[in-house]
Amino acid sequence: MSQTLSRIRKNTTKARELMARSRAEGFAVGAFNIDNQETLIAIVQAAQSTKSPVLVEVSDGEVKAIGLQNLRCMVDNYKQDYGIEMYLNLDHSPSVEACKQAIDAGYEFIHIDISQANHDAQEGEIIAKTREVVEYAKFTGALVESEPHYFGGSSNVHKEAFDYEEIKKTFSTPEGARHFVEATGIDTFAAAVGNLHGSYPVPKQLDLELLQKVREAIGCQISLHGGSGTPANFFDDVSRIGVSKININSDMRKAFRDTLVKVLQENPDEYAVMKLMPEVIASIQQVVEEKIKIFGSAGKSVA
Q: Give me the active site residues, please.
A: 91
For residue 93, give Cα distances in angstroms to 33, 143, 146, 173, 222. Answer: 13, 14, 10, 23, 18
Is the dihedral angle over the CA atoms 123, 225, 190, 214 positive or is it negative? negative
Name the phi and psi angles at 58, rounded to 5: -140, 135
**Closest of 207, 201, 127 to residue 167, by C-alpha:** 207
Strand partners, 153: 197
Contact 195, 227 (CB under 8 A): yes
What letter does residue 17 receive in the DSSP assignment?
Answer: H
Contact 39, 31 (CB under 8 A): no
What letter does residue 148 receive in the DSSP assignment?
Answer: S
Contact 109, 141 (CB under 8 A): no
**Closest of 262, 230, 267 to residue 246, by C-alpha:** 230
Contact 46, 292 (CB under 8 A): yes
Query: CA-CA distance, 94 to 113, in Å (whole number)?
Result: 5
What amino acid is encoded at 166 in this protein?
E
